Structure 1
Amino acid sequence: MPVVDENEENPYLRDPPTDFGPVEALSETAAREQVERLREAIREHDRRYYVESEPLIADRTYDALFGRLRELESEFDLSHPDSPTRSVGGEPVEEFETVEHVAPMLSIEGSGDVEDVREFDDRVQREVGDVRYVCEPKFDGVSMEFVYEEGHLERAVTRGDGREGDDVTRNARTIGAVPQHLHGDYPDFLAVRGEVYMPKDAFQAYNRERIERGEEPFANPRNATAGTIRQLDPAVVAERPLAVFYFDVLAASELADTQYAELERLPDWGLRIADHVELAADIDEAIDYRDRMLEGRDELDYEIDGTVIKVDDREAREELGRTARHDRYAFAYKFPARAEVTPIVDVAVQVGRTGRLTPVALLEPVDVGGVTVSRASLHNPEEIAEKNVNIGDTVRVQRAGDVIPYVEEVVEKDSEGHYELPDACPVCDSPVERDGPMAFCTGGLGCDAQLRRSIEYYASDDGLDLEGLGERSVRQLVDAGLLDSVADLYELDRADLTDLEGWGKTSAENLLAEIDASREPPLPDFLSALGIPLVGPTTARELAREFETVEAFREAAETDPERLERVSDVGDTVAETIHEFFLSEANAAVVDDVLEHVSPQAVAIDTGDELAGLTFVFTGSLEDMTRGEAQDLVETHGANATSSVSGNTDYLVAGENPGATKQEDARDNDVPILDASEFRTLLEENGIDHE
């Protein structure tokens, strides 16, 4: 490796050239020297950006340097574990290895009661005398251990049980705020504790993107961070906006005498610390610090749920020792939970499988019934206008049925007027049409959001159950231009898949086998998989039973909606929705294309008469069978299984986590409600084997 003159100014630090010559014109020696200079410069740019927040160059220039380095490493086979290019990810892993920590990562004793804080101080003074305290924000993220040997990142490990955790080094390398190599006069060995988090503005922006892509948003920044760190595919981690604060030295070849001195050294090594770290002369100053942080928490770009008060002197800390669960030199003075009232930061518009636009309020995280939420439904334009709600308003949030958060009312009006849905779809820019209180994108399956959702639904449990084709893989295939419609699934080949990041030969062949096995689907599954609005598995079974072939069903759907209405579980609204679905030229073309590849099969249902004349509705989950299996079972023995409760319903079977609406409808119509045990008893009394 060539020796780089440290006294020579690195040409890629300030006003770097980006008009690089062809790689082929470089000798191996010149390439190695340029690689070293680029790595050195990129590490410094990373430090300036992530630690100092004072970048020297524009993002576009940084990208040019990064691209040149990657090109040289590839052309001359100069890859290295510490290279900044390793941050782009790597091959997925099957599972994480469990690793023991260098030093225990214990929890912190804490309370929101000021008297408990003073009792902590009394104990400290009794045991070691007067001390100074280091005061830090208590981050609401994911705690991890980062180990550096000779300045190189050796491993990154989750906290786990405090004694050992998961080795997530490959994921940590993709986080820009984790240096692959330390800067400055670093110790030979360093184990440092850090908190990985997702900045609030980045979290809101990323959630907005997910919502507008038709994907499920994250509940709150901490959940997003925890789920990301434990991804088996580093490429997924690389695309998510994570950051890190470092706050404690667990072990080092050289230790400072105080915690505060340790913190002061971390930025010199390229490790970012929180902006709001203070040294308190006594407990009163530490309490005042916490109160100031509580007052200003909404101004921070990261979530905190309190402050941490630590004895500064290392010798005193050692004397105080630790219990099996926590260090005795530290105490967390917690904030009260945010309760129900919070500002709306932004509004994202979700485009569903049917094109329906649903506005979603993105909130400052707030505690609602013991759950932290950061988004809430605004339902539809009429409700938004009625509540006069807009971005910037402070609102009260409730949870419907203890599940779905929604905006109940505006508590403090800080905006003018109410939020207006866009005139064009946020995904495909097609015109938006209103249908009563609802709004719809007119782009059909030409809209990427509707396309992705339709393919996801086609492959879901309610469709053809294609294992290996979930939300992320569908998005990847659509973004790569391999899927422009559902029918394109049947045109995929192994080369298409293995060219994509994260796909190997085995995973590609498994998916292709799943798709190939779906070429002769049962007619009920196929009708459900089409994603016709209001046609789920139960209605699809009734339609398949009535029409027996896809051709007969389609003829009625296109020309005779009144014929559809005579089918059990299909009323005039569902019939009209099916009819409108097939009147759409785009939808009809999609179905035509799919039928070029699949041949739906009629399913003969031999029914007994043990339950003849009875109508069942199922809600919640049953222990020993799925809801679909329960519906098939009662239908096999002569009963009807419908999706909604009416006066004609004989029994509502309620498993675990049942829907509140169906139970209310059952009570209103005097319909008996059976639990899972009572349902099994009914089957046994009628001589029906349900094993």
Structure 2
Amino acid sequence: MVRSDQQAGEDNPYLRDPPTEFDPLESLAEGKAREQVAQLREAIRHHDRRYYVESDPIIADRTYDALFSRLVALEDTFDLSHPDSPTRSVGGEPIEGFETVEHVAPMLSIDQSGEETDVREFDERVRRELRESGYDDVSYVCEPKFDGVSMEFVYEDGRLERAVTRGDGREGDDVTRNARTIGSVPQQLHGDYPDFLAVRGEVYMPKDAFQSHNRERIERGEEPFANPRNATAGTIRQLDPSIVADRPLEVFYFDVLEASDLEDSHHAELERFPEWGLRVTDHVEIAADEKNSPVTAIDAAIDYRDRMLEARDDLDYEIDGTVVKVDDREAREELGRTARHDRYAFAYKFPPRAEVTPIADIAVQIGRTGRVTPVALLEPVDVGGVTVSRASLHNPEEMAEKNVDVGDTVRVQRAGDVIPYVEAVVEKDSENEPDSHYELPDNCPVCDSAIERDGPMAFCTGGLACDAQLRRSIEYYASDDGLDLEGLGEQSVRQLVEAELVESIADLYDLERETLTDLEGWGETSAENLLAELEASREPPLADFLSALGIPHVGPATAREVAREFGSFEALRAVATTDPERLEDVDDVGETVAAHVHEFFASEANAAAVDDVLEHVSPQAVDTDAGDELEGLTFVFTGSLEDTTRGEAQETVEAHGANATGSVSGNTDYLVVGSNPGRTKRDDADENDVPTLEEAEFRELLADRGIDLE
């Protein structure tokens, strides 16, 4: 444990009324310099906590700056830099990429609704299940639902060890170096903190800081961010920590994921957070049943939500609802969780904001699958603190129903406080007929192919011959749901297409280092990395390849089912073109999905594009005669495997009759442990007496049953 601030203040001259005149550096002995560095680090952490957590600074900004500058000078002169030093908040050298790590505990989503009846049903279920476990009363903690980026912060012996994005809830990106640049992220905890502490926090950009930052971007000729959440998400995943340090991010902490010493209640944990240096919102309330009154805890929680709805515009951070959480820790454990969310919490969402503005023009946007989406170009309007200049009109049928046309004044909403869309026409333009509405063009504005209607939707028939569909298809081909080709994002794909280096997915495999390095922003390393990614993708698993093609309604899960059913790409293609009804025999494939698969393969443009890709790529066949060598066994994987991916290992055991699940339980037979494993699964394995296998032992188990893990 660390000393209290009062104890520290007795011998640290920089905590209260600190001097700002210092002895010359050249006159300091190294021992004295080390002592002063330790005192300055302790003092700056203290002043950071007073400023960011307690909102009660005790020194002026210029005094703080003088202390900080002295610490920088001492560390540079005497070579005393340290990863935990507050000076690391200024950033550092760019990094190559982010490591994916497993969370110490699952970061699940929250069940949510904007309907009061759903909130009351949540309360009824909680009370019913807890009564069966012997609980008579229920208390809730009510908190704002922050609209930022959720992250895990792990502290060991009070020191920040890592900060990880939520990712898929099980694992995320290690962005520790970026998190260290955020002023409200303490590098070292204060007070009587647990030896091990993993907390969940929300990184966000304050509203006023967001507007100032956007104004600066516009003045520099850069594209402004759409909203504070997008600005935050784009910032926290920057590869250059110095960029993150220059952007105004903050953090609120709101939950304990795991700790060596847990409090009995959530509210008690939140009360301890500021003592440790972790910043919490002032808007936390307890909702409890009132004795001798019909007012219940959920009544108080609903009232809290209504009051926060009224107060939201006065807050300097975005919220899109409130969260109701069972307070008692043991009661939470009794309620448990589903695969997607904790059953002890519920988010009561706010209705979307709405504003009124005229439509200056209507443009047509072509999606990856050819879907045509009309987009209203608006006279800029402020919607919930965000300047909106365009909004979706969804599809031609909805435009007709709403009677929308250029010049009309419309009400704009933000679905989920993120995606703007036109809700309704408030006033028709005087030059428009009362019943006039915008009509889509007959031909695609990008490739001039015919636009055809399909029920309420419209689609460009150009397929992969359409540049708009091509760009998005390449982006999807390279995405996490495709072949996961690092280095091929929206910006790089657009650059390759505009430079006419890529006119089809197949052209990716003809790229050369010299042509890439001639592009702006591309160096030897980035070019070599992309070419290596492409080379490694030439023999993808069949399911990954099918998903990467971007066939409508065929995502990773459906692609795996189709791959297991047909075994090879050739077999699937033959069935899809000649006997599409046979596709409906596959789990996860119904009449609609089968029709889309048939249409994709029947298209001459798509067929030609796929043939071109197959000249470079050989999808690996799947053994459709699923073996039973592992029948009845259940495997769970944690960490990274050396010569294969976890997904491929899961597919292998499933192909031979086993189950592969995401969490350890009493039904698990083996936990396979790779490098950098998560702590939670190993602890669960110990609790349930589940045997653990190192990768070599796992391979040996498979080999004993005649199974080769490639």
What TM-score do the two structures reach when normalised by structure 2?
0.51
Shift of 1:57: 1.9
Task: Describe the superposition over 1:452-484 as per-residue Cα deviations: whole angstroms up to 9, x where unpaired.
Answer: xxxx9xx98899899xxxxxxxxxxxxxxxxxx
Q: 1:45 to 1:361 in 2, by over 3 A?
A: farther
> SS of 1:246's equivalent?
strand
Query: Matched residue pairs, number?
Result: 410
Structure 2 counterpart of 1:179: 186
Equivalent residue runs for 1:193-272 within 5 Å: 193-272=200-279
- Other structure's SS at 1:192 match: strand
**1:374 to 2:392 alignment:** no
Task: Tell me if structure 2 keeps the 8 A contact 1:136–1:308.
Answer: yes
Q: How does 1:19-418 map to 2 (within 5 A)?
A: 19-126=21-128, 127=130, 128-281=135-288, 282-341=297-356, 363-365=382-384, 374-376=387-389
What is the one-letter code of the residue matched to 1:308?
V
Question: What secondary structure sits across from 1:340 in the alignment?
Answer: strand
1:6 is paired with a residue whose SS is helix
Cα deviation digits, residues 475-505 of structure 1 (max 9, x gap): xxxxxxxxxxxxxxxxxxxxxx9xxxxx999
The corresponding residue for 1:433 is: none
Contact 1:375 1:405 in 2 (8 A): no
Describe the SS at the equivalent of 1:106: coil
> 1:30 and 1:300 mapped to 2: Cα distance?
46
Once the two structures are TM-superposed, the CA of residue 361 in structure 1 deviates from its matched residue by 5.4
Aligned equivalents of 1:10, 1:18: Cα separation in 2: 14
- Identity among equivalent pairs (%): 73
CA contact (8 A) 1:90 1:235 kept: yes
Question: Residue 694 of structure 2 corresponds to which residue in structure 1?
Answer: none
Q: Offset at 1:7?
A: 5.7
Is the partner of 2:182 in helix, strand or coil? coil
Taking a change above 3 Å as real, the CA distance of residues 329 and 251 of structure 1, as seen in their structure-2 partners, is same
TM-score normalised over the length of structure 1: 0.53
CA contact (8 A) 1:220 1:365 kept: no
Q: Secondary structure at the match of 2:354?
A: coil
Distance in 2 separating the partners of 1:286 and 1:173: 35
Deviations 1:133-161 (CA, angstroms, capped at 9, x unpaired): 00000011111110000000000011111
Q: CA deviation at 1:20?
A: 2.1
1:300 partner letter: L
Closer, same or farther in 2 for the Cα pair 1:69/1:362, shift >3 Å?
A: farther
One-letter amino acid of the structure 2 residue matched with residue 324 of structure 1 = A
Question: What is the root-mean-square deviation in Å for CA atoms of aligned residues?
Answer: 4.5
> Partners in 2 of 1:278 and 1:404 — Cα distance?
32
In 1, the alpha carbon distance for the partners of 2:80 and 2:411 equals 56
| Alignment match of 1:17 (pick from 16, 19, 33) | 19
Label 1:67 to 1:303 Cα distance change in 2 as closer, same or farther (>3 A).
same
Equivalent residues of 1:135, 1:307 under 8 A apart: yes
Residues of 1 paired with 2:352 and 2:413: CA distance? 15
Post-superposition, which runs of at least 4 consecutive aligned residues in structure 1 deviate over 6 A? 403-406, 408-411, 459-466, 507-510, 677-681
CA contact (8 A) 1:144 1:194 kept: yes
Unaligned 5+ runs, structure 1: 343-358, 367-372, 378-393, 412-455, 467-496, 498-502, 511-622, 624-676, 682-691
Could you list the per-position Cα deviations for residues 210-266 of structure 1 after superposition, in whole angstroms to 9, with x for gaps in the alignment? 111111000001111111111111111111100000000111111111100000000
- Residue 233 of structure 1 aligns with an amino acid whose one-letter code is D
Instruction: Give the C-alpha shift of residue 409 in structure 1.
Output: 12
Q: 1:308-359 deviations in whole A, cap 9, x for unaligned? A: 00000111111111111111110111111112359xxxxxxxxxxxxxxxx9
Distance in 1 (alpha carbons) for counterparts of 2:278 and 2:148: 17
**Superposed counterparts of 1:541-620, under 5 Å:** none
Contact (CA 8 Å) 1:109, 1:331: kept in 2 or not?
yes
Do the aligned partners of residues 410 and 69 (structure 1) sit closer, same or farther apart at CA in structure 2, a change above 3 Å counting?
farther
The corresponding residue for 1:345 is none
Q: Distance in 1 between matches of 2:108 and 2:166?
A: 9
Instruction: Flag the 1:506–1:56 CA change in 2: closer, same or farther, 3 A.
Output: farther
Larger Rg computed on CA atoms: 1
> Are 1:111 and 1:333, in contact at CA under 8 Å, matched by a contact in 2?
yes
| C-alpha contact (below 8 Å) 2:202/2:251 kept by paired residues | yes
**Contact 2:412–2:420 (CA<8 Å) still a contact in 1?**
no
SS of the aligned residue for 1:256 comes to coil
Secondary structure of 1:177's partner? coil
Q: Which residue of 2 aligns with 1:449?
A: none
Paired with 2:202 and 2:111, the residues of 1 have a C-alpha distance of 18
Aligned partners of 1:309 and 1:330 also within 8 Å: yes
**CA deviation after TM superposition for structure 1 residue 297, in Å:** 0.7
Residues 408-445 of structure 1 show CA distances to partners (whole Å, capped at 9, x for unaligned) of 9999xxxxxxxxxxxxxxxxxxxxxxxxxxxxxxxxxx
